[in-house]
Chains A and B, each alone.
Chain A
Amino acid sequence: MNDVLLDVTNLTVRFPAGRAGPFGPRRHVHAVDGVSFQVRRASTFGIVGQSGSGKSTVALALMRLVGISGGDVTLDGMPLSALRGDALRRARRDFQMVFQDPYASLDPRRRAGALIREPLDLLEIGSPAEREAEVLRLLSQVGLPAEAGRLFPHQFSGGQRQRLCIARALASRPRLVVCDEPVSALDVAVQAQILNLMRRLQRQLGLTYVFISHDLAVVQHLCDEVAVMYLGQVVEQAPTHRLFAAPRHPYTWSLIAAAASHGAAGQAMRRRHLTPGEPPSPIDPPPGCRFSVQCPHVTARCRTEAPHLRPAAEGHLAACHRMEELGVPDFGLAEVA
């Protein structure tokens, strides 16, 4: 058995963005542009990056919920990106998704039990009696009482609703669960409950997660490997412990500085590494390194020639022309108090 469950190669998603003027050329939002990564079985792969960097679009493309403009997605040897119609519908039991807003992703008129059973009904898994038993098992698995099955979504708290969404995502016994900001709408106390639940379920069921978040501390807590996205591209990717010990891309430095702890050390880090301003428009971005507009270390070459991801260390990739020269920032002084 191959160690890799999910293999993403050169994934590209473009959205039409009208024309530049009435006779101008057709323009596109390059939401995801040539993204490649592999996710090992029973591991958690994190995707971080600023708002608009394309994280959710990657998730939706993996789920085949948005059109793929190019590239391949393979789940355990099965070419997901090539599946159509009934074959795609049948394959869906293997990959499920948990969304940020647990309320918006649940039909308010259906009871929790029916919502959890729905994927089983749609995919025709088990007999009706088996499905009912499965619903009870799932409820207890996510820490909800059996009676919760009779309640409507609005009768749950935010944290309970997210438990419900997780139960529903697990109903078809998927191998891959794609989580898009699953705890971002929850307060810290409930977030801890959900993160612990996700880790426990992973240990018990051997689940593989793709986990999207803009909270670096949460990503560090949960993920084995992390990809950093900027304007539709992966700019750095590494095992979690390496990314936070020796990040190599100036955008990663900025992201880490923004999230660094309070106190003088964190402030010093922000002064040094936090990049001001905003990313350029994702509509037909300029050639060269996309981060060059904001990068404090920019050179003439960066503006014209796009850097490719290349090895910085074992299992560690970064896309920066000046990687060797810039080295690793001294984050030692910013250790958490």
Chain B
Amino acid sequence: MSGTTIPPLALSVEHLGVTLAGRDGPLPVLEDVSFGVPAGRTLALIGESGCGKSMAALALMGLLPEGLRCDTGAIRLLGEDLAVAPPARLRALRGSTLSMIFQEPMTALNPVFTVGEQIAETLRLHQGLDAAAARAGALEMLRKVEIPAAAQRLDAYPHQLSGGMRQRVMIAIALACRPRLLIADEPTTALDVTVQAQIFDLLKTLQRETGTAILLISHDLHAVADIADEVAVLYAGTCVETGPASRVLAAPEHPYTRALLACSPRLRLGAAAAGPAPDLLEVPGMVPPLGQRGPGCRFAPRCELAGADCNHPPPLRPAGAGRAAACWRVGDTTLEAVA
């Protein structure tokens, strides 16, 4: 996407802070997280388990679990700050302007209603369609998400569909009202590669049609590389790197991003398939649990480049065109490269 002008931001998250109420005061869950998703584009939010990806998504939806609250920063959806919006306003936005696909489609679908009823319900609620129009709309959505024999499947219950088809139904519900922002939390982790590729293709096709901005959550940057235009990498509740997906993938700036990319095996095809695979790079240690984050750079205890200066938390600083990274070393290497 380099070279083209970036469309206006559909979502802009600015210095977002989320805390968990603890016995000894609030514990930081997300700290000073900033990223933006342009209209019609996809931003992938990447990070290991426990880094705060789902909490970021739930904060945007106004659905943080009990005990967690969003206490600093702004969440601007088309200019409106959701962080301070009243609950009634958030309810009205959810399902229409703003919608979400969850990791496990079975838990998000209602087992006692047919998939047709569930899509139609969204259309009735948010677009005020009558029953017949809503049913017709539901059928159209099932066709859009490429469910075979859509007319029959309208009357199927969720348990009668495969995992891939259920996720398609979730997408149909989430996109029924043409939201401006779709949040997809690991939408394909529970599915196999073939279905994953089909679902990503589908999301892209629908995005081209509707101009929806997508926030896609994953722990695997390679897996979402094809669909993401931009990425934001989270580590222990802080944003450590942002930038265009292709460039971050080709030349990650932050040591954590580099480590994440190096530790997953890459498929080698054709002539490249010959020869044994070397051992994978490992990132030693693990993400610090809540309440055990150090005062400096969160990644320093696992970072091979860490030094004394890393005791001060590095801010997210510009690192080349459209890119930013939070690492004291990044400035150094840029200087070296320039010199």
A215 at the interface (CB under 8 A from B): yes
Interface size on B, residues (CB 8 A): 46
| Chain A, range 32-73, C-beta contacts under 8 Å to B | 50-52
Chain A residues with Cβ under 8 A from B193's Cβ? Answer: 214-216, 255, 258-259
B269 at the interface (CB under 8 A from A): yes
A277 at the interface (CB under 8 A from B): yes
Chain A residues with Cβ under 8 A from B280's Cβ? Answer: 192, 195-196, 221
The answer to whether B194 touches A274, judged by C-beta atoms less than 8 angstroms apart, is yes
A102 at the interface (CB under 8 A from B): no
Task: Decide: A244 near B196, CB < 8 A? Known: A187-B49, A189-B263, A278-B148.
Answer: no
Chain A residues with Cβ under 8 A from B286's Cβ? Answer: 157, 159, 190
Task: Decide: A244 near B273, CB < 8 A? Known: A270-B201, A336-B267.
Answer: yes
Contact with B along A184-223 (1 / 0, CB 8 A): 0011111111011001000000000000001111101110
A233 at the interface (CB under 8 A from B): no
Chain A residues with Cβ under 8 A from B338's Cβ? Answer: none
Chain A residues with Cβ under 8 A from B260's Cβ? Answer: 188-189
Interface size on A, residues (CB 8 A): 56
B32 at the interface (CB under 8 A from A): no
A336 and B275 alpha carbons, distance in the complex (Å): 15
The answer to whether B201 touches A196, judged by C-beta atoms less than 8 angstroms apart, is no
| Chain B, range 72-87, C-beta contacts under 8 Å to A | none
Chain A residues with Cβ under 8 A from B219's Cβ? Answer: 187-188
Distance to closest chain B CB from A332 (angstroms): 4
The answer to whether B268 touches A220, judged by C-beta atoms less than 8 angstroms apart, is yes
A120 at the interface (CB under 8 A from B): no
| Chain B, range 230-274, C-beta contacts under 8 Å to A | 249-250, 259-260, 263-274
Chain B residues with Cβ under 8 A from A337's Cβ? Answer: 250
The answer to whether B162 touches A278, judged by C-beta atoms less than 8 angstroms apart, is yes
The answer to whether B226 touches A267, judged by C-beta atoms less than 8 angstroms apart, is yes
- Taking a contact as CB atoms closer than 8 A, the residue among B162, B195, B201, B269 that contacts A260 in the complex is B269
| Chain A, range 12-35, C-beta contacts under 8 Å to B | none
The answer to whether A331 touches B266, judged by C-beta atoms less than 8 angstroms apart, is no
B165 at the interface (CB under 8 A from A): yes
A263 at the interface (CB under 8 A from B): yes
- Taking a contact as CB atoms closer than 8 A, the residue among A193, A220, A270 that contacts B277 in the complex is A220
The answer to whether A335 touches B270, judged by C-beta atoms less than 8 angstroms apart, is yes
Q: Taking each of B163, B197, B201, B266, which has the highest tally of chain A beta carbons within 10 Å of its own beta carbon?
A: B197
7 contacts between A and B (CB under 8 A): A50-B192, A196-B280, A214-B193, A244-B267, A258-B197, A261-B222, A274-B197
List residues of A whose CB falls within 8 A of some B CB: 50-52, 157-159, 186-193, 195-196, 199, 214-218, 220-222, 240-245, 254-263, 266-267, 270, 274-278, 330-332, 334-337
